[in-house]
Amino acid sequence: MRIEKTFQVKEPIDQVWSLLSDPRRVATCVPGAKITEQVDEKTYKGTISVKVGPSATDYKGELEILRLDAENHEIEILGKGQDVRGRGSASMKMTGKLRSLEDGGTEVTSVSEVNVVGILAQMGSRVISEVSNIMFGQFVKNFQAQLQQPADAATGEAKPINAASLAWAAAKGAFHRQS
């Protein structure tokens, strides 16, 4: 499943790039995600918790930076995780690109190929795309907030989104689709 998202921030491209190219800091913007260790210079281990209503899935997996192009401000990462209780898996290959805007800000574009295996996948793209829309919305907020903090500020974890509101919003989103 392909998910394409674009958003703008006020900050200049170099500042945005320094956040985007730092997996530890970016991970703190993803709701429910945590980097647990760095394996080598481009591989990290981590976890992410996704709760939709009463259904909680904890994925444990790896993040690999496939390509880091500082000149063109492009990053390609591959994230793969398995449900800790063995109820499925997910993988995502994401390309993130930055573009300078006329007003001095930056446009961030991400294109992801997402693959989900397991019970969640049976619900089909309707639930997955709604959930990822909501998670992405929160990611953007967190990303923008991170940008406004100094680079060496203590990084905490972004809390997972409240489960009930995620379920309700996903259901609403599924029925009232705005392109």
**Chosen residue from 39, 66, 117, 145 binding other proteins by CB under 8 A:** 117
- Burial class for 45, CB neighbours closer than 10 Å (0-12, 13-18, 19+): middle
Q: How far is CA 108 from CA 93, 99, 137, 166, in A?
A: 16, 7, 13, 24
77 contacts 65 by C-beta, under 8 angstroms:
yes
Number of Cβ atoms within 10 Å of the Cβ of 105: 16
Which of 33, 24, 34 has the alpha carbon at shortest distance from 65? 24
Least separation in angstroms between residue 132's CB and other proteins is 16
Rounded to a whole number of angstroms, the minimum distance from the CB of residue 117 to other proteins is 5
- Per CB under 8 A, the list member of 21, 28, 82, 110 interacting with other proteins is 82
Q: Of residues 39, 66, 70, 84, which one binds other proteins by CB under 8 A?
A: 84
Verify binding: residue 83, other proteins, rule CB under 8 A.
yes
Q: Which stretch binds other proteins (CB under 8 A): 70-78, 83-91, 97-105, 146-154?
A: 83-91
Query: Which range touches other proteins (CB under 8 A), out of 13-21, 32-40, 87-95, 148-156?
Result: 87-95
Distance, in Å, from the CA atom of 167 to the CA atom of 169, rounded to the nearest integer, reads: 6
Q: Which is nearer to other proteins, 21 or 82 (CB)?
A: 82
Closest approach, Cβ 142 to other proteins, in A, equals 29
Is position 119 an interface residue for other proteins (rule: CB under 8 A)?
yes
What is the total count of residues that contact other proteins (CB under 8 A)? 16
Please, are residues 106 and 82 in contact by the beta-carbon 8 Å criterion? no
C-alpha dist (Å) from residue 101 to 14, 95, 106, 111, 148: 12, 19, 5, 19, 18
Q: Which residues bind other proteins (CB under 8 A)?
A: 82-89, 115-119, 121-122, 124
